[in-house]
Amino acid sequence: MALITPEDVVARLDPQPDVDSYPRIEILVEDAERKIRTAFAKAGRSFDAALEVVPWLRDEAEDVIREMVSAAIIIGPNAGIRSATSTTGPQSDSVTYADVDSVSFGGVKLTDAQREALGLPMGGLSRGRFPRARRWPEVIHRG
């Protein structure tokens, strides 16, 4: 069951996309929700179970899905372009690409800020259980 519909996304966009783009928006919504479910699974959590227990998660997930899909629609084929230059005189075009954090060439992307909003752990955390570190040996000098 999708948390949001293509109409939820379109209602917030300006300019409004054509009705012909609704099937693509629906696919992007499904992709965004799948990415969130996968991120929860990688963190050892169930997204569906968390939706039932955490009162704020549904609203936050809906917002994140809308952000992910809106970025993919608005940026669209210009993903990764930092600057574009065109000259009409003897024809000169120049495009500079950068690593864009909010959208990928293939569609939606879950950013670190969105992961944090969903309460997911950020990188750098250990994934196992390790014994406690040994205490430093303390030497008491009596003298």
Boundaries of domain holding 31: 6-117
Is position 124 within any domain?
A: no
Is position 128 within any domain?
A: no
Is position 130 within any domain?
A: no
Is position 88 within any domain?
A: yes
- Predicted pLDDT at 51: 93
Number of domains forming the structure of the chain: 1
When pLDDT is averaged across residues 104-128 and rounded to a whole number, the result is: 78
- Predicted pLDDT at 106: 67
Nearest CA among 52, 13, 10, 61 for reference residue 33 = 61
Is position 97 within any domain?
A: yes
Is position 138 within any domain?
A: no
Tens of pLDDT along 21-75? 888 889 999 999 999 999 999 999 999 999 999 999 999 999 999 999 888 887 7
- Predicted pLDDT at 111: 86
Is position 134 within any domain?
A: no
- Predicted pLDDT at 40: 93
When pLDDT is averaged across residues 117-132 and rounded to a whole number, the result is: 75
Q: Which residue has the higher pLDDT, 24 or 81?
A: 24
Tens of pLDDT along 2-22? 789 888 888 888 778 888 888
pTM of the model as a whole: 0.70
Is position 47 within any domain?
A: yes
When pLDDT is averaged across residues 77-90 and rounded to a whole number, the result is: 67
Q: What are the two backbone dihedrals, phi and then psi, of residue 104, each rounded to the nearest 5 degrees?
A: -110, 170
